[in-house]
């Protein structure tokens, strides 16, 4: 049986994971999994910046296991990540199409005969 989340795009999954309330370690693990699943280099780069910021926070935190949402007090990197994902989900395009269009591909035009 397929998970409900399997129909979600990587962009939707990313938004979901940063808004979920869980430990910083769980956030870093979830974001790492999304990086491994995605072929969108820009998405992976944005996730990497968020994970880097989380590692710094984690290393300097006294409340390492306290559950939190990354959107409660978002870092600038998290805001950029969420904005990119929201932008990509607006068009409801599969990730392969987003990547193809970023590399110059355009969808074929339908012939409209009058």
Does the structure show a pLDDT above 50 at 4?
Answer: no
Environment class of residue 102 by beta-carbon count within 10 Å: exposed (0-12), middle (13-18) or buried (19+)? Answer: exposed
| Strand, helix or coil for residue 32 | helix
Helices within 1-103 (DSSP H only) = 10-19, 24-37, 41-59, 76-90, 95-102
Which residues, in sequence order, are CB contacts of 80 under 8 Å at separation 6+?
46, 49
Does the structure show a pLDDT above 70 at 50?
Answer: yes
Between 34 and 92, the higher pLDDT residue: 34
Does the structure show a pLDDT above 60 at 2?
Answer: no
């Amino acid at each position: 049986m397929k998970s409900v989340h399997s129909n979600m795009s990587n962009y939707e999954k990313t938004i979901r994971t940063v808004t979920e309330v869980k430990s910083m370690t769980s956030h870093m693990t979830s974001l790492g999994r999304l990086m491994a699943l995605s072929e969108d280099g820009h998405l992976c780069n944005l996730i990497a910046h968020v994970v880097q910021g989380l590692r710094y926070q984690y290393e300097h935190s006294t409340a390492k296991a306290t559950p939190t949402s990354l959107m409660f007090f978002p870092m600038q990197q998290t805001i950029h990540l969420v904005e990119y994902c929201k932008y990509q989900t607006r068009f409801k395009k599969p990730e392969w199409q987003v990547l193809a269009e970023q590399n110059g591909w355009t969808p074929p035009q339908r012939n409209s005969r009058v």
